[in-house]
Amino acid sequence: MLTSSTGGGHDARAQAFAEWCFHLYRHEVDVRIEQMLEESSGFYRGGVNFYNWIQKRMPWLHKAFYTVVEGLSLINRRTVIFGRHYYEQVLQEYRPHLILSVHDCLNRGYFQLARKILGKHNMRCATYCGEFSGGWGYSWNWVEPTVDLYFSRTPTAGDYAVKLGLPREKSRLGGDLMLPRALLEVFSPGERDRYLSKILGLKPGLFTMFLATGSNGANNHVELLTQLLPYSDRIQAIVVCGRDRHAYNELIHWRIQHPEFGCFVDGFSDVMHLLMQVSDAIVTRGGTTTCAKALHFGCPIIFNALGGVMPQEKLTVKFFHNGGAGELIANGAQFRALVDRWMQDPSTYDAHRAAFLALRYEKDATALIDELVGLAKDAAGVELTRYPFPPPNGNGKNGGQRKR
């Protein structure tokens, strides 16, 4: 698995693939996750750190940074330049039958060099791209035409990959790559109310606003919470801070200062799929992993554009905007205006949620894993035992009515 910690989504998908392989094939499939950019080169490590700093502090600056990164499509056109020694060492040591890239900068050159070292008959290469749509922000680096299979999240994104040079016959729809537990841990309405009251200390029946952030902790939580205070009798909030200890401490202090407002605060959360199920709306940047989970669990999105929207995030915003469910806020006043509208006329929220749910797509999560493992089986010339995956608790659609 080739990934990198530019944001948290790439690593999350790598971990999900590893978990799925164990669920379906147990110990017969060995998965090694490599954060190839950071581990292979000081130059790349600096770029990853700078990306994450931009995401947290100056999203608008990423337009220039993104343009520079696109140059890697030329540098790595036929082979790996920066970090080549480390990558070669990993290939020689591990000798994988499948290389799966879940990062845009780890396709071009990486597949060609792997075939040169391991032999093209002994291994296969695949890409999983998590973008929602195409256009400015969809990196040229995603598409390496020599890939064996290329998985896209949506048909729109898949068509754009073909436009960039991917042979149509190699294109597949992969849907969402989430941890297996996200499909198993599905609340019934009664369980949802119990989780709100017993675990989060909140009140069932109030409109629950989920203020989310990525693992890096980029957020505007205090500014947004302040806009919710006038509705403390009708709205409560769930707030997560990622791995930003300063933000967590600040929010704990804010909560103490405003006892009239119901608020659950957490740092980095590994139960986002549960928090979304008990929320009526989520405020988040356009990160693909969080937005895909929100769509799966039927939790309408308010896109946080405070500080600007990064090019990759624009692809996500565009997908929902084109579907009539792209509420976007650029400042606290816009957030307050949206909340006012929803509270004063609940039918506007109902209409937004209906448009949001209409964008949901169903995809068998195990089909993606089976096809990828099938590539490795073909290269290795072996047969594997395939175990059944337990059905989720309930129908997994979560499109039912919620109390407000």
Which range marks the domain in which residue 299 is found? 181-357
170 and 200 housed in the same domain: no
Number of domains in the chain: 2
310 and 324 housed in the same domain: yes
How many CB atoms are located within 10 Å of the residue 253 CB?
11
Distance CA 333, CA 367 (A): 44
pLDDT band at 51 (very low <50, low <70, confident <90, very high): confident
* Structure confidence by residue, pLDDT tens digits, 18-40: 999 999 999 999 999 999 999 99
CATH of the domain at 242: 3.40.50.2000
Question: Which range among 20-34, 238-252, 332-346 shows the weakest confidence by mean pLDDT?
Answer: 238-252
337 and 198 housed in the same domain: yes
Please check whether residue 395 lies inside any domain of the structure: no
What local confidence, expressed as pLDDT, does residue 218 receive?
67
116 and 65 housed in the same domain: yes
pLDDT band at 308 (very low <50, low <70, confident <90, very high): confident
* Structure confidence by residue, pLDDT tens digits, 69-105: 887 777 888 899 999 999 999 999 999 999 999 999 9
Question: 151 - beta bridge partners?
Answer: 128, 172
Angle between helices 288-296 and 9-25 (to 10 degrees): 50
pLDDT band at 393 (very low <50, low <70, confident <90, very high): very low
What local confidence, expressed as pLDDT, does residue 215 receive?
63
77 and 214 housed in the same domain: no
Please check whether residue 262 lies inside any domain of the structure: yes
Contact 185, 159 (CB under 8 A): no
Please check whether residue 294 lies inside any domain of the structure: yes
170 and 203 housed in the same domain: no
Strand order in the sheet with 171-173: 34-35, 2-3, 98-101, 124-129, 149-152, 171-173
20 and 136 housed in the same domain: yes
Distance CA 178, CA 20 (A): 9
Predicted TM-score of the model (pTM): 0.89
127 and 194 housed in the same domain: no
Please check whether residue 174 lies inside any domain of the structure: yes
* Structure confidence by residue, pLDDT tens digits, 119-164: 989 999 999 999 999 999 999 999 999 999 999 999 999 999 999 9
217 and 352 housed in the same domain: yes
CATH of the domain at 376: 3.40.50
* Structure confidence by residue, pLDDT tens digits, 162-206: 999 999 999 999 888 899 999 899 999 899 999 999 999 999 999
pLDDT band at 379 (very low <50, low <70, confident <90, very high): very high
Nearest-Å Rg of the Cα atoms of the chain is 22
Please check whether residue 398 lies inside any domain of the structure: no
171 and 313 housed in the same domain: no
